[in-house]
A and B are shown apart, each in its own frame.
Chain A
Amino acid sequence: MEKFQTITSSCVPLNIENVDTDQIIPARFLKATSREGFGDNLFRDWRYDNENKPKPNFVLNNPAYSGKILVAAKNFGCGSSREHAVWAIYDYGFRAVVSSFFADIFKNNSLNCGLLPVQVSDAFLAKIFKQVDADAKTLLKIDLENQKITIVATGESEPFEVNSYKKECLLKGYDDVDYLLSLKDKIEAYEKAH
C-alpha cells in the first residue's frame, strides 16, 4: 500500500445523499479478475448514457472539478459490501472521501485499501460545499498525522476520528497484509505450538 501523506488538493463535490455501492460500481462489472481498471466504471450509470457518451451534468464530467478528494453528502457507501466500490474510487485517483456519515462496511473496506474516509460534521460539510460552489479550485488539506481537515482559503478546520491501528497502517503505508507478515515470528511460534 502507498504511504498516506498529507494531502492538499482541490476536490470533486458530489452533493448526493445515500450513495450506494451499486451506483459506485454496478454489479455487471464484478466478474473481472483484477483490482485495477475499475476506475473506468466508477459511477458508470451516472457518468455515461446508454450509448456510452459522457453525461455533461454529472460532476465527474465537469472539467472545472478535479483532485484527489471526493466530497459526498451523508451516508456514503451504503448497500452491498462489494470491495470493488473502494477499488473503483481509488483506481480513479481519489485518496480520500469526505462525508458526514459513512456506511460501516464501506469505511472498513476503504481503510483496508488505503482510501481515507474523513467523517466531518454536517455543518463543516456544508461549509465545504459552499466554498467549492463559490470557487471550484478550493483547496482542502487533510492531515492524517494530526487528524485535521482544513479549508485552506478560509483557514477553517475540524478534527476527525480514525482508529489508531489503521492510522498507523496508513501513515506507514502498511496494509493489513504487511502487518500480518510482520508478525511472522509469532505466527511461526503459534504453528509450532499447535
Chain B
Amino acid sequence: MSAKTLFDKVWERHVVHQIEGGPAVLYIDQHLIHEVTSPVAFKGLDRRGIKVRRPDRTLATPDHNIPTMGQELPIKEELSRMQVQQLSENCKKHNITLFGLGHKYNGVVHIIGPELGITKPGMTIVCGDSHTATHGAFGSIAFGIGTSEIEMVLASQCLFQAKPKSMRINVNGKLGKGVTSKDIILYIIAKLTAGGGTGYFVEFAGDTIRSLSMEARMTICNMAIEMGARGGIIAPDETTFEYIKGREFAPKGEEWDKALAYWKTLPTDEGAKFDIEYSFDAADIEPMITYGTNPGMGLKISQNVPSDEPNKQALEYMGLKAGDSMIGKPIDYVFIGSCTNGRIEDFRAFASVVKGKKKADNVTVWIVPGSKQVERQIEAEGLKAIFEAAGMQLRQPGCSACLAMNEDKVPAGKYSVATTNRNFEGRQGPGSRTFLASPLTAAACAITGKITDVRTII
C-alpha cells in the first residue's frame, strides 16, 4: 500500500460515490449552520417538500449579526432579528439542536464545535462560512460552502467536491518571546501571498506546530483560507486527544477507545507525496502586523511599510506611505475576539499584558468572547476584573466587529487593531481601516494607544 497523507485518508473514507471524470460525492459528518447563510437553503427544502436528512448531524447557533450588548432584549435591527428568528423556526421544524441567543452553549460557530467536543479528528465538517477551516486543527477535512451547497447537505448529508491539490507547510524551531500562532500564520500568508494557496488543501506540520496548544493550532487553520487554500489540517496527536477528552459531546468509555484507535491511524505516512511543500524557520518569525487591505499584506512589526507599486491603492485606503514605520502609528480601536482569536487562551494572553495597566485614552477597546463558555471562564478566572481595572469593558459573545453586521462598527477613517482574520476595505464597517495582529500585540496597542511591539513592554 502506498504512503498516504492525512488528507487522503480522511477523504477516501468519506467518498460515497465517484462521478466519472467529475467530482466526488462526499459524506458530511457534521454540518454547522448559522442565521445568515441558511434561510434560503431551508426554503429550498420546503419547496421540495423534504426534511433535513440528519438533524442529529446538524447543529445551529446564531452568531453573525447578533448584538454584543443587551442580548437579553429583543434584537433592535429588524432584518437581523428576522434572520435569528427564522433560524429558530427552521431548527424547530426540522428537529435540529439550536444553541440560541443566551443559551449556555451559544457562541461563534467555529468556537463552539471544538469546545463542546463535537469537532473531532478524521471527520468531514462543513458550514456556510469560509472560516470553517478552523476545525482542520483536529485532523478533519473542514471547509466553507455556499447556500446551494448548504441545501445539498441538509437534504442528503452529502456534497460534491473535486479533490484539491496537496500542500505541506513545515515550521520548525523555537518561537521567540512575544511570538504566537497568529504571528506564524500571518508570517506564512505574507510569504505565500493571499492567493498562494489557491487550489490546495494545506497540512501544517513541523515541531513548532506540534508544540502548540489546540487553541493555537485552530488560529492557524482558521486563516488557511486567507491564502486562498480550501482549508488547513493538522495531524491529531496527544495534545488533540487530551483536549477532546471529557468534553460534553466527546465519545465516552468504549466509544472513546474505538475512536482513539481510528484517530491514531490518521497522521500522514512517512514518504507520502505532496504536490508542493514549504519550510519555515520559527526563529525568523516576529510579532506580525498587516499594513494593507488583504491578509497577505503583513510584515514584522519592526519593519517599515514596503514601497512597491502594486500596494498603491491599499496604502491610499489605509492612509499610509511607503517607508512609514508601523511602530508608533496612533490607533482608535482595539478588537479582541472572533473565531481566529476569541478563545480563553487569547483572553489570558491579552490579560497578561493589560494586568495592572490602564488603556490609553484615545482607544476604544471591544472585548468580545467567542462563546458563552469563554465568557464564563473569563469571569471565573478573574480576567474580567483585570479588564475592568484597565478601563475596558467585556461584551457578550458573537462575531461582532469581525464583519460588522451588528452595531459594532469601526467608523470611516478610523484605525483598528483587530485579532480577526480579514482586513478588507470596509470589513469592520464602511471606510474602517484594520491592522490584523495577535492578542498580545492588540493588548500592547490598547495600553499605549499606538502600534507597539509587545516585546518592549513585557
Interface of A toward B, CB cutoff 8 Å: 31-35, 81, 83, 109, 112-113, 163-165, 175-177, 180-181, 183-184, 186-187, 190-191, 194
A-B contact pairs, 27 of them (CB 8 A): A31-B36, A31-B80, A32-B40, A33-B40, A33-B82, A33-B86, A35-B43, A81-B146, A163-B22, A165-B22, A165-B23, A176-B148, A176-B152, A177-B48, A177-B151, A180-B158, A180-B160, A183-B16, A183-B17, A186-B16, A186-B25, A187-B16, A187-B157, A190-B16, A190-B27, A191-B157, A194-B27
Is B311 located at the chain interface by the 8 A CB criterion?
no
> CA–CA, A32 to B48, complex, Å?
20
Residues of B133-163 at the interface with A, using a CB-CB cut-off of 8 Å, are 146-148, 151-152, 155-158, 160
Is B196 located at the chain interface by the 8 A CB criterion?
no
Q: Is the CB of A109 within 8 A of B43?
A: no
Least CB distance from B161 to A in Å reads: 11
Q: Is the CB of B158 within 8 A of A183?
A: yes
The 3 A-B residue pairs whose C-beta atoms are closest, nearest first, are A180-B156, A33-B39, A31-B79
12 more A-B residue pairs beyond the given contacts A33-B83, A180-B155, with a C-beta to C-beta distance below 8 A? A31-B36, A33-B40, A34-B40, A35-B44, A109-B146, A113-B148, A164-B22, A165-B21, A181-B156, A186-B16, A191-B27, A191-B157
Is B19 located at the chain interface by the 8 A CB criterion?
yes
Q: Is the CB of A31 within 8 A of B151?
A: no
Q: Give the chain A neighbours of B80 by CB distance below 8 A.
A: 31
Contacts A112-B148, A113-B148, A183-B17; is A34 near B39 (CB within 8 Å)? yes
Q: Give the chain B neighbours of A33 by CB distance below 8 A.
A: 39-40, 43, 82-83, 86
Q: Is the CB of A181 within 8 A of B43?
A: no
B44: contacting residue among A177, A184, A191, CB under 8 A: A177
Q: Is the CB of B152 within 8 A of A180?
A: yes
Interface of B toward A, CB cutoff 8 Å: 13, 16-17, 19, 21-23, 25, 27, 36, 39-40, 43-44, 48, 50, 53, 79-80, 82-83, 86, 146-148, 151-152, 155-158, 160
> CA–CA, A176 to B53, complex, Å?
15
Complex: chain A residue closest to B35, CB-CB: A33
Contacts A31-B83, A33-B86, A83-B147; is A187 near B158 (CB within 8 Å)? yes
Q: Give the chain A neighbours of B148 by CB distance below 8 A.
A: 83, 109, 112-113, 175-176
Q: Is the CB of A183 within 8 A of B156?
A: yes
Contacts A81-B146, A163-B22; is A187 near B151 (CB within 8 Å)? no
Q: Give the chain A neighbours of B155 by CB distance below 8 A.
A: 177, 180-181
Q: Is the CB of B27 within 8 A of A187?
A: yes
Complex: chain B residue closest to A81, CB-CB: B146
Q: Give the chain A neighbours of B48 by CB distance below 8 A.
A: 177
B17: contacting residue among A32, A164, A177, A186, CB under 8 A: A186
Complex: chain A residue closest to B77, CB-CB: A31
Q: Give the chain B neighbours of A165 by CB distance below 8 A.
A: 19, 21-23
Complex: chain A residue closest to B90, CB-CB: A33
Least CB distance from B205 to A in Å reads: 27
> CA–CA, A83 to B160, complex, Å?
17
Least CB distance from A151 to B in Å reads: 32
Q: Give the chain A neighbours of B23 by CB distance below 8 A.
A: 165
> CA–CA, A184 to B156, complex, Å?
8
Residue from B36, B39, B40, B157 having most chain A Cβ neighbours under 10 A = B40
Least CB distance from B400 to A in Å reads: 17
Q: Give the chain A neighbours of B16 by CB distance below 8 A.
A: 183, 186-187, 190
> CA–CA, A31 to B79, complex, Å?
7
Q: Give the chain B neighbours of A191 by CB distance below 8 A.
A: 27, 157
> CA–CA, A112 to B151, complex, Å?
11
> CA–CA, A70 to B158, complex, Å?
33
Least CB distance from B11 to A in Å reads: 14
Q: Give the chain A neighbours of B17 by CB distance below 8 A.
A: 183, 186
Q: Give the chain B neighbours of A177 by CB distance below 8 A.
A: 44, 48, 151-152, 155-156
Least CB distance from A137 to B in Å reads: 34
Complex: chain B residue closest to A180, CB-CB: B156
> CA–CA, A32 to B79, complex, Å?
8
> CA–CA, A54 to B263, complex, Å?
61
Q: Is the CB of A164 within 8 A of B27?
A: no
Least CB distance from B44 to A in Å reads: 7
Q: Is the CB of A187 within 8 A of B146?
A: no
Q: Give the chain A neighbours of B83 by CB distance below 8 A.
A: 31, 33
B146: contacting residue among A83, A163, A181, CB under 8 A: A83
> CA–CA, A113 to B393, complex, Å?
46
